Chain A
C-alpha cells in the first residue's frame, strides 16, 4: 500500500499524517509536492490539514488550482481513495469533489478541542473498522468547519449514506451536526476532525487509529479481490 500526502504551500498537518502512516502504522508513505502531475503510484491520497495558501479569500480556495488537483481527479475517478482532513476537506469542497461548503464557525472563533463523534456509516474506506453508532473522541482545530449544504443535496446525501461522522455536541454550527462526508461512490472522503492527532497513547487517545486502519483494510480487501 502506498500513501501520498499532498503538500501545499501552507500545509502543516502533512507531517502529522506522515508520522501516523509511516511511523505508527508502518505504511509506505511519501510527501507529494503540490505541482506534481504523476501520482499513479499511490493507492491513497491524503490532503492534510493546515492553511494552504494562507487560507486567504476562502479556506482551500486557492489550493484547488494546484496542478496536483487534476491528477487527483483522475485518481479519484478510478475509484481510489482520496482523504481530505480539515483543510483537505475544505479543498475538496472548493474543488467540487465533495458537496457543500465550509463556512465560519457559528461562534466566529477558531476552536481547538476534542470532539465526540458518532460513526454514521461503517461501510466506507475510513470507517470499516469502527462499530456502527460508536462514539469516538477526535481533536478538532478549525475556524471554518461549519458545514453547509442545500436541502436537496442533503436529502440525497442521506439517501446515499454519504454522512460519515456527526458531532455529538455540535461545536461549529454544521448542518445536522455533520463532521465528515463522502461522495456517492464513497472513495472521496472529507472530515474536519483530525484522526491523526488521536493515534498514539502518549497523546492521550487512540480513537483515530481505526480511521487509518480502515483505509489499509479497505485497500487490502480491494487488492485481494483483484480490483
Chain B
C-alpha cells in the first residue's frame, strides 16, 4: 500500500502524516481521497501560507475568501457575489469543453451562495496567434465553449480580456469569472449543520469524468474501469440552467440549511468541506449516488468530477419539499447520507463502511502547508537593462500606429464578444468594448461595473510592480465607467511552485496585489490559484488576473470611453514620462520584451480616482478612458474609433515623439469635457492639485496629432477603425 502514495501524487512525508492522523494505514479509497484533497488544486498547499498578506475584510465585505464565492455589499440590502476560476489544463486538451465546463463551474459557485448569477467575464491567454494554427484552434474552441455555455444559461458575458504572447504557446489560460446578486439575508453557505439532517444529491448522474492522470492510484483497479475513465468533462448547460432555477427556488422555501457545488474532487471535497464547516462529520452511501455508468468503484464515485451536480443539506423531514421543487424542474434528488458530529467522514457502500477519515484532516485545514523556497530569477536583472535610447525612433508614425492597432493584443475583441450574448437579461448598460462593463440592478437605481485586467508582460519584467499595475488598471477601468471600486477576485496563474524562481514570482505578485488592494481599499474576497502552467521548456509569464467589481449609485451616470461630441475639449490627466519599458510598443514594433516597467504612485492614483468620480457626479465629463497598452496614441485612437469622431491633438514635450505617444506611464486618464464645463473642471483640477494638460479637441473625421508643431499622424478615423476592427477576424478567418 505505501508505495501507492506516489501514484496519487503524495510524498512519503505526506503519507506518513496520513497514517499518523488515521492511526492506521489508509485503504485504497481513503488514500485516493487524501490524494485528491491534498492536491495543489484542492488544498492550496503551496500558496495558502501567503494569503495572509491579502487584505480580505472591510466595512463592505460580507463574505471573504473561504466560501464558494466572496460577497460585497452594494447598499439597499443588496450584495454582489463574485469569483474567478481557471480551467487552463482542461482547455488545453479540449478547448470547447474545457472552457465550457469552466464557465459551468464558476456559475455553480455563485448560485451555491444563493445569489442569482447576472454576469460572466473571461480572461484568456494564448500563444503567438499570428504564427500558429494550434493557437487559432484553441482560441476558436475556447470562445465557442464559453459562448455555448454562457449563452444557453442566459447569463450575459459582458467583458473580459485576451492577450497573446509566446509564453503561453504550450499553456493557454482560461479564467472565467461570474458575478451574482443577492439580498443580505439570503446568503447561504456550504455548511452541513444540524445532526441528522439529510445530505441530498441533485443534478446530473455521476460518471467517470475527470478521473484520471497521475493523481489516481491504478494498482487495484479493474482494467475495464481504467479504460473507461475520461479526463475530459462534457458540459450540459441545459442541466445547469435547471439546476440553477431549482436551487434558487429551493433556497426561497427555507428547508435547505447548506448548499455546495460539486467541483474539483467532486463528492470527496464537497462532503468534507461542508462537514468541517458544519457539525464536523458526515456519512454518505455511495450506493445511493445516481450513476451514468455501470461498475463504478466507490472511489470513482467519490472523486468523479462529473459536471452539473449539487449537494444539499436539508432539514430532516423536509426532503419531500425538496423533491417537489426539483421535480418541477425535471430533475431528481436523492438522499445519500446524513450529518453527524463525530468528526468523521464515513463512506458507506450499502451497509458496509468502505472508508472512514477524520473530516478535518482531509480539507485544507488538515492538509499540509508548505513554505516553498523562493529565489529571484537571474533574468530579472538582465531584462531591466534597457533605455529608450536603445531603440531607433520610427520614421513613419502612421505605420507604427496601424501596426499597433492590428496587434492582437490591442485590436478590437469584437470577433470574440460578438459570439457571447452580452445583452440577455436586459441589464447591460455598458456593453463590451468600453473600459469596464456596467449592468444595472433592476428594482434599484444602482449599477455595477465589472472588469478583468492583467498585463502579464509587466508582471514578468517585475512581478511586484506589475501586479500592482494589474490592480490599479482594473480600478481605473471601473473608475472610467463612473463606478466606485469595491472588491477583487484574483485568478493567480503561475508555473511550478516547487521551483524557487517561479515561486518568487508568485510571492512577489501576492505581495504586490496585497499592497495595491490595501491602497485602493479593494479587499480580495475570493480567488483561485493555478500552478504548473509550464512545459519542459518554459513557464507562462506570471499572470495574476484581477477581477474587480465597482458600484454606481446612479446607473444613469455610467460613462464610456468614446468621444461624444464635436468640439469637446480633450484633457489628459496625470504625467507622461519616459516609460516605454515593457510596453506594447517596444514589443510589437521593436520586438523587445524588456525594460523597467512604469512606476506607480498611489497618492496620485487615488487623487485621480476621486476627482473623476466627483466630476462625473457633477455631470462635467463626456467620456473617460484609461491609458494602458499602447499609451496615449492608442488611447486617443480607441476613443475616436468607438465614437466615430476625429480629434486634433497638439502636444509640446521634451520627450522623444514615440516615447511620448506610446509610453505606458501609469495613473493617466483621457477625458473629454464640453467647452462650457471646462472652467468648472479646471477649478476642480487646480483645487486638488491634479496634473493635467489640455491636449486637443474632438473634431472632424481624422485623427491628427501634432507634436512640437510638427504633424506626426494624420489619418482618417475610418481607416484606423478598419485596421483595428478587422484585425482579429482577419487572422481567424
Residues of A at the B interface (CB closer than 8 Å) are 9-10, 12-13, 15-16, 19-20, 49-51, 53-56, 109-113, 139, 141, 143, 194, 196-197, 199-200, 202-204
Which A-B residue pairs are the 5 nearest by beta carbons?
A: A12-B154, A54-B238, A51-B152, A141-B421, A16-B426
Chain B contacts with A in 232-248, Cβ cutoff 8 A: 236-239, 241-242
Q: Say yes or no: A9-B238 contact (C-beta < 8 A), given A51-B151, A202-B440.
A: yes
Q: Which residues of A contact B421 (CB under 8 A)?
A: 110, 112, 141
Contact of B428 among A109, A194, A203 (CB under 8 A): A203
B154 touches A9 (CB 8 A): no
Contact of A196 among B239, B426, B428 (CB under 8 A): B426
Contact of B426 among A50, A53, A203 (CB under 8 A): A203
Q: Which residues of A contact B423 (CB under 8 A)?
A: 112, 139, 141, 194, 197, 203
What 0/1 pattern do residues 406 to 432 of B give for CB contact below 8 A with A? Answer: 000000000001111111111011000
B242 touches A9 (CB 8 A): yes
Q: Taking the nearest CB of chain A, how far is it from the CB of B324, in angstroms?
A: 14
Q: Which residues of A contact B239 (CB under 8 A)?
A: 54
- The verdict on B555 contacting chain A, using a C-beta distance below 8 Å, is yes
User: Can you identify 5 A-B contacts, CB atoms within 8 angstroms?
Assistant: A12-B424, A19-B426, A55-B238, A110-B147, A203-B426
A200 touches B238 (CB 8 A): no
Q: Which residues of A contact B152 (CB under 8 A)?
A: 10, 51, 54-55
Most chain-B Cβ atoms within 10 A of its Cβ — which of A49, A51, A194? A51
Q: Taking the nearest CB of chain A, how far is it from the CB of B430, in angstroms?
A: 9
A54 touches B236 (CB 8 A): yes
What 0/1 pattern do residues 144 to 159 of B give for CB contact below 8 A with A? Answer: 1001100111100000
Q: Which residues of B contact A13 (CB under 8 A)?
A: 154, 424
Could you tell me the distance between the alpha carbons of A16 and B425 in the complex, rounded to whole angstroms? Answer: 6
- The verdict on B692 contacting chain A, using a C-beta distance below 8 Å, is no
Chain B contacts with A in 540-586, Cβ cutoff 8 A: 555-556
Could you tell me the distance between the alpha carbons of A49 and B556 in the complex, rounded to whole angstroms? Answer: 27
Chain A, Cβ-Cβ closest to B430:
A204
B153 touches A110 (CB 8 A): no
Q: Say yes or no: A141-B151 contact (C-beta < 8 A), given A112-B417, A112-B419.
A: yes
Q: How many residues of B contact A (CB 8 A)?
A: 31
With A111-B419, A202-B555 known, 7 other A-B pairs at CB within 8 A are A13-B154, A16-B426, A19-B426, A54-B238, A110-B148, A111-B418, A112-B420
Could you tell me the distance between the alpha carbons of A11 and B421 in the complex, rounded to whole angstroms? Answer: 14
- The verdict on B329 contacting chain A, using a C-beta distance below 8 Å, is yes
Most chain-A Cβ atoms within 10 A of its Cβ — which of B154, B237, B242, B556? B154
Could you tell me the distance between the alpha carbons of A12 and B149 in the complex, rounded to whole angstroms? Answer: 13
- The verdict on B442 contacting chain A, using a C-beta distance below 8 Å, is yes
A51 touches B424 (CB 8 A): no
Chain B contacts with A in 284-333, Cβ cutoff 8 A: 329-330
Q: Say yes or no: A109-B419 contact (C-beta < 8 A), given A9-B330, A16-B426, A203-B426.
A: yes
Q: Taking the nearest CB of chain B, how far is it from the CB of A205, in angstroms?
A: 11
Q: Is the interface of A mostly helix, strand, loop or mixed?
A: mixed
Q: Is the interface of B mostly helix, strand, loop or mixed?
A: mixed
Q: Taking the nearest CB of chain B, how far is it from the CB of A178, in angstroms?
A: 21
A9 touches B241 (CB 8 A): yes
Could you tell me the distance between the alpha carbons of A196 and B419 in the complex, rounded to whole angstroms? Answer: 20
Q: Taking the nearest CB of chain A, how far is it from the CB of B8, in angstroms?
A: 36
Q: Which residues of B contact A199 (CB under 8 A)?
A: 426
Q: Taking the nearest CB of chain B, how far is it from the CB of A50, in angstroms?
A: 6
Q: Which residues of B contact A112 (CB under 8 A)?
A: 151, 417-423
Could you tell me the distance between the alpha carbons of A20 and B425 in the complex, rounded to whole angstroms? Answer: 11
Q: Which residues of B contact A194 (CB under 8 A)?
A: 423
Could you tell me the distance between the alpha carbons of A202 and B442 in the complex, rounded to whole angstroms? Answer: 12
Q: Say yes or no: A51-B429 contact (C-beta < 8 A), given A109-B419, A112-B422, A141-B424.
A: no
B424 touches A9 (CB 8 A): no
Q: Which residues of A contact B428 (CB under 8 A)?
A: 203
Could you tell me the distance between the alpha carbons of A20 and B419 in the complex, rounded to whole angstroms? Answer: 25
Could you tell me the distance between the alpha carbons of A95 and B272 in the complex, rounded to whole angstroms? Answer: 48
Contact of A110 among B151, B241, B426 (CB under 8 A): B151
Q: Taking the nearest CB of chain B, how far is it from the CB of A122, in angstroms?
A: 26
Contact of B154 among A50, A113, A200, A202 (CB under 8 A): A50
B422 touches A202 (CB 8 A): no
Could you tell me the distance between the alpha carbons of A55 and B242 in the complex, rounded to whole angstroms? Answer: 14
Contact of A9 among B144, B329, B422 (CB under 8 A): B329
Could you tell me the distance between the alpha carbons of A10 and B555 in the complex, rounded to whole angstroms? Answer: 29
Q: Which residues of A contact B440 (CB under 8 A)?
A: 202
Most chain-A Cβ atoms within 10 A of its Cβ — which of B144, B238, B419, B556? B238
Q: Taking the nearest CB of chain A, how far is it from the CB of B329, in angstroms?
A: 7
B429 touches A203 (CB 8 A): yes
Q: Which residues of A contact B330 (CB under 8 A)?
A: 9
Chain A, Cβ-Cβ closest to B443:
A23
Could you tell me the distance between the alpha carbons of A100 and B472 in the complex, rounded to whole angstroms? Answer: 53
What 0/1 pattern do residues 421 to 455 of B give for CB contact below 8 A with A? Answer: 11111101100000000001010000000000000
Q: Which residues of A contact B418 (CB under 8 A)?
A: 109, 111-113
Chain B, Cβ-Cβ closest to A51:
B152
Could you tell me the distance between the alpha carbons of A219 and B674 in the complex, rounded to whole angstroms? Answer: 46
Chain B, Cβ-Cβ closest to A13:
B424
Chain A, Cβ-Cβ closest to B556:
A202
Chain B, Cβ-Cβ closest to A11:
B154
Q: Taking the nearest CB of chain A, how far is it from the CB of B155, in angstroms?
A: 8
Could you tell me the distance between the alpha carbons of A12 and B152 in the complex, rounded to whole angstroms? Answer: 8
Could you tell me the distance between the alpha carbons of A101 and B429 in the complex, rounded to whole angstroms? Answer: 33
A200 touches B237 (CB 8 A): no
Chain A, Cβ-Cβ closest to B240:
A54
Q: Which residues of A contact B148 (CB under 8 A)?
A: 110
Q: Which residues of A contact B236 (CB under 8 A)?
A: 54
Contact of A200 among B329, B419, B425, B426 (CB under 8 A): B426
Chain B, Cβ-Cβ closest to A23:
B442
Q: Say yes or no: A12-B153 contact (C-beta < 8 A), given A56-B238, A202-B556, A203-B429.
A: yes
Chain B, Cβ-Cβ closest to A199:
B426
Q: Which residues of A contact B242 (CB under 8 A)?
A: 9-10
